[in-house]
Structure formats: structure tokens, C-alpha cells
Structure 1
Amino acid sequence: MCSKCYAEMDFLPVRINRIVLKKPVFCAGVYNKNLQKLIRGLKYHNQKELAFYLAKFMYEFWQNIEEKNNFQIVPVPIFPKREKQRKYNHMNLVAEEFCKLSGSTLNTDLIKRIKDTKPQYKLKKAEREANLAGAFEVEKENFLPMKILIIDDICTTGSTFEEMIKEFEKHGISDITCLAATTPFEE
């Protein structure tokens, strides 16, 4: 990604963009042409090097958040079949780069996706919720209480975050914040 394209990715104002199950959701930028190219290249075109730029964008935004320390970074997991097709989980790559920049701890084995869900982008809110119902499962029963920052590429309705939050709360993890690289809404 060239520096000109990176510079054209606009940050949203630093504030909570939405609340999902009483948890704050921050979105770093609006889903514009450059962020779209960046995410699609990383997600669908095997351009793994783009993970750094998406992580950097998210990290630069995150630096303006008041309470930003001591989080374990948990990327949204993908279903094993999809990961096998892509050969990687793009959000794991972003999370790794985010942790390098922030000094945070990465935790990719705390929760897994146990349901092969449809891609969300064509679904309405109610369809997204039904699609994701029961999609995640906390993998470790013996963990210490922790602060979690769930990270994802796009937050449209918040359904993915909502389903993950529900699963974490079933296991006693309630100190949760969410960060998406982008949202299609200029909120």
C-alpha cells in the first residue's frame, strides 16, 4: 500500500460508535475506497502484507482511546473450513501486527467459531443475528479474569461482536471492548 493511499484513509472521531450488550464498540474509519481495497486484498487476495497497514490504522486510532491498556487482543475467529480455503485468518494477522505495535498480548485460542456461517455482507440485521446464533464457543475453561479487546475488520450491525460477547459472558468474562477497522456508516 502506498503512503498516499494510506493517508487517504480517514479516521472517524474518537468516540464510542455504538453499544452492543452494554459494551463499547469503536470503529476507526469509514469504509471508503482505500479501506475497502485494503480489506479485500487481505481477506480475499492473499495479500498478507496488508495486515500491517490495517493494524497500523487501527492502532493509530486506538492510541486516542483513554483506557487502552492491559487488554488481551482477541481477533474474530473464522470457521476452520474457511481458514483452510484461505490458508489463514486475516484478522489473526491483523491482531499479530496490532500486538507488535501496542505491546498487547494476543489470544487466538480463547474462542473459536463452531458454526460455518454465511458471509454477512448481503444479510439484513435479523438475518445476521440468526446466521451468527451459536457460532462461537469459548475454548478454555481455566483462564484468569481478563480485559478483552475483540477486533474485527468491519462492523455493520454489531452482530458478530454481540454473539462473541454473549459467549464470553456465559464464561464469566465481562470486561470487553470491541474495535473494528471500519464501518459503512459515518456516525
Structure 2
Amino acid sequence: MFRPVLTLARRLGLRAGRCAVCGTVVPDGGSPLCAACAGALPLRTGGLCPACGEMSGRKEDPPSLCPECRADPPPWDELYFHGQYAGAMRRLIIGYKFHNRFERSRLLGTLGVSAFTARRGRVPDAVVPVPLHDRRLVWRGFNQSLEIARGLARHVDSPLLIHGLTRTRNTPPQTRFGLKERQANIKGAFAADSALVKGRRLLLVDDVYTTGSTLRECARTLKRAGCAGVDVLVLARTVLE
């Protein structure tokens, strides 16, 4: 439906592309998003727990630890995320991961950087993506967490440790399970290279935080390998009902 508009733009000497979310025609060289989709991807910086990202209260409220994280802190110090896993953000990530929309890599990396800089994230010694098992990597063709981590590593000018963390078991997708089943499914599924991570403060990167089971297991694995500390960055935080 957009082809006639693009053809007309070219005839008039205008450069045009499409919105990365909805496909609406947008000027080439400008934002990869139309105004409506850009407005539907708000950056959340307040009214949240800085440890787990649980959102409560007004978005203008300062970050404050939730009761759960005060009682049982996660195995990382800070969690950064851009916004809620819903609406335009959900469509953007699902299209990227499951419908071969690899051209969205740069945009998603930019959203990750904006989340990090808005919260004045601590510059890490190295950046570590949550890994995929080799079989899953062959099936999908790329690791979305690695591609997001590339942009973060460039932004903070820190090494990207592609092999700092590896997945040793090809676990079933976490989306099939509830909280307890997720924890059991992912337990012992990772290994860290102590030669790469020991003594370093790390930024662990993934795309979506749902229950945090995967990120907790990754952070614990890195700490057992001797890293100095872990912060976490994800693009989106799921709000559980």
C-alpha cells in the first residue's frame, strides 16, 4: 500500500523510507520512526524500582527500591530499561526477533543507549550479552541481545565480551513456563569465562525482562566467575498481571 507513495516521492526527488514499527512513509535521513510511533515509545525514568524495574506510581516520581528488592536484592546493582514491553515496543521487538526485521538493530541499539544515558548509567569495564545456544542461534540467524550490546559497547567505549558468557544447555523457551518453572528451566544453563570477566564490572544486556529468571542466572554465573559487579540493561520491562 505504501509503494505508490514511495514511487511518487522518488519522482519528485524526495528521499523517503518507512517507519520501523508501522511502515508509514517517513523522510529518509531523519527519524526511523513516524511521529505516532515515536510518541508510543516513551522513555521511562521514574516511578520505578532501580533494581528490578517494577513500575509503580507516577512516571515523574524518583526511582525507589520496591519492597521485594529491599527484602531480597537481585544479584546485580542497577537495572536500566527504556520502557514497558507493550504496544509499539512489543511489536518492534517481536518483529525484530521472529520476523527477520534485522534492519531494526540500529534503532533498538539507540533505544538501549537512551535508557542507559537517561539514568546516568555507570560505565562498565566490559559489556556482556545474554547468549543463545548454538542451535537457537542457527535457527534465528542472530542473537538479538548481542546486537543491542554492540551499540552499548560503542557508546560507553568498553570491550564487548561476546564469549564472556555462554549457554551450555539448549533450554526450551522461557515463554512456555511460569516463574518457578522458568527458574528450574534456566538453572545451570550458563558458563562464564573467568579469564575474561574476573575483576571486571560488567553490563549484562538482554532484550526483555519478564520474571528476571534468565538475568538472575546469568548474573550469578558471572559473579561465581569472579566479576567485580553487574549492572543490567534491557530494552523493555514486562508488567506482570
TM-score, L = length of structure 1: 0.90
1:97 is aligned to 2:151:
yes
Who wins on radius of gyration, i.e. which is larger?
2
Instruction: Check whether the contact 1:23–1:177 (CA below 8 A) recurs between aligned residues.
Output: yes
1:3 to 34, 44, 55: 34
Shift of residue 126 of structure 1? 0.4
Structure ranking higher in strand proportion = 1
What is the CA–CA distance in structure 2 between the aligned matches of 1:151 and 1:138, rounded to whole Å? 15
Q: Which has the higher contact order (CA 8 A, sep 6+)?
A: 1
Unaligned runs of 5+ in 1: none
Shift of residue 183 of structure 1? 1.0
Q: Equivalences for 1:151-166 in 2 at 5 Å?
A: 151-166=205-220
Map of 1:52 onto structure 2:
106
Unaligned runs of 5+ in 2: 1-19, 21-32, 53-72
Map of 1:141 onto structure 2:
195
Instruction: Check whether the contact 2:129–2:146 (CA below 8 A) recurs between aligned residues.
Output: yes
What is the CA–CA distance in structure 1 between the aligned matches of 2:196 and 2:235, rounded to whole Å? 30
1:68 is aligned to 2:68:
no
Letter paired with 2:34: S
What is the CA–CA distance in structure 1 between the aligned matches of 2:168 and 2:201, rounded to whole Å? 23
Identical-pair percentage: 23
Map of 1:150 onto structure 2:
204
Map of 1:132 onto structure 2:
186
Instruction: From the superposition, tell whether residues 101 and 22 of structure 1 become closer, same or farther in structure 2 (CA, over 3 Å).
Output: closer
What is the CA–CA distance in structure 1 between the aligned matches of 2:228 and 2:182, rounded to whole Å? 23
CA displacement, residues 7-47 of structure 1 (integer Å, 9 cap, x when unaligned): 32122225514241253323321012111111112111121
1:13 is aligned to 2:45:
yes
Letter paired with 2:92: L
TM-score, L = length of structure 2: 0.71
What is the CA–CA distance in structure 2 between the aligned matches of 1:8 and 1:109, rounded to whole Å? 35
Shift of residue 142 of structure 1? 5.6
SS in 2 for 1:39: helix
Q: Equivalences for 1:19-34 in 2 at 5 Å?
A: 19-21=73-75, 23-34=77-88
Shift of residue 174 of structure 1? 3.6
CA displacement, residues 58-84 of structure 1 (integer Å, 9 cap, x when unaligned): 111111223421341111101100001
SS in 2 for 1:23: coil
SS in 2 for 1:53: helix
CA displacement, residues 73-110 of structure 1 (integer Å, 9 cap, x when unaligned): 11110110000111111111111123233433211111
1:35 to 49, 74, 89: 89
Instruction: Check whether the contact 1:168–1:174 (CA below 8 A) recurs between aligned residues.
Output: no
Instruction: Check whether the contact 1:20–1:161 (CA below 8 A) recurs between aligned residues.
Output: no
Please, what is the CA RMSD of the aligned residues? Answer: 2.0
What is the CA–CA distance in structure 1 between the aligned matches of 2:194 and 2:128, rounded to whole Å? 13
Question: Paired residues, what number?
Answer: 186
What is the CA–CA distance in structure 2 between the aligned matches of 1:36 and 1:24, rounded to whole Å? 23
